Copies of this chain bind each other. A is one copy, B any other.
Amino acid sequence: MNTWALTKLSYGVYAVTSWADGGKATGCIANSAMQVTSSPATIAVSINHDNFTNECISKNGRFAINILGENSEPSIIGNFGFRSGRDSEKFPAKPEIKDFLPIVDGAIAYITCKVIDKMETATHTVFLGEVIGAEIINDADEPMTYAYYHKVIKGKAPKNAPTYIEE
C-alpha cells in the first residue's frame, strides 16, 4: 500500500468554530469537511477526539465552517491550527456572531450548522450538521485548497513562522 495515494484527495482549508463552556469562542483548522446532502443541506466534518473543538461541538450542538481563501491571512491558520483553545484565546473578546456562532474575521464564506448526527471512529468524530445559515463574505478571492496551502502558502511562510515549518 502506498499511503501517499491518499494525498491525492482534494480538500479545502476551514476554521471550524464553536463555543466552549462559559461562552468562550474557539475553533480549529480542518480539511475534512464535505457536503453530504443537498435538501436539506447537510455538512460532515471530521474532528480529532483530542481537539478541544470536538468537545465544544459535542456540548454546544452547533458549529460553523469558516472557509479560508487563497488571500486569507496565513496567521488565521497559525492561530486556529497550531495551538489549543484549552489554553489560548483564538477570538477577540467580541467576535462577530452569526446564527449564534463565532465567525472568523478574514474567512471568504461561512456555513453555520446544527449537529443532527455523528459517527465515532477510533480517533475522530464525524459530525453531521444541518446547515442553518450560509453567506459569502468575499466573492473575489478563490477558496484555498489544501494543495494550495502546501505548495504556495508554505513556500511563502517567513522564517519567523515556526508553525508553518513544523506542519
Which residues on A are within 8 Å of B, measured CB to CB? 1-6, 8-12, 31-44, 46, 65, 67, 108-111, 117, 119, 121-124, 126, 128, 131-136, 142-147
Whole-angstrom CA separation of A144 from B143 in the bound complex? 15
Determine if B34 and A135 form an interchain contact, defined as CB atoms under 8 angstroms apart: no
Whole-angstrom CA separation of A110 from B35 in the bound complex? 22
Determine if B5 and A37 form an interchain contact, defined as CB atoms under 8 angstroms apart: no
Whole-angstrom CA separation of A74 from B80 in the bound complex? 38
Given the contacts A44-B44, A119-B128, A121-B42, A9 and B32 also touching, CB distance less than 8 Å: no
> Which residue of the partner chain, among B41, B123, B143, B144, contacts A3 with CB atoms under 8 Å?
B41
> Which residue of the partner chain, among B8, B9, B111, contacts A136 with CB atoms under 8 Å?
B8
Whole-angstrom CA separation of A136 from B4 in the bound complex? 7
Q: Copy number of this protein in the oligomer?
A: 2
Determine if B10 and A11 form an interchain contact, defined as CB atoms under 8 angstroms apart: yes
**How far apart are A44's CB and chain B's nearest CB, in angstroms?**
6
Whole-angstrom CA separation of A139 from B40 in the bound complex? 38
> Which residue of the partner chain, among B3, B4, B34, B144, contacts A46 with CB atoms under 8 Å?
B34
Whole-angstrom CA separation of A37 from B119 in the bound complex? 12
Whole-angstrom CA separation of A146 from B11 in the bound complex? 10
Whole-angstrom CA separation of A160 from B144 in the bound complex? 34
Given the contacts A37-B46, A134-B5, A119 and B122 also touching, CB distance less than 8 Å: no
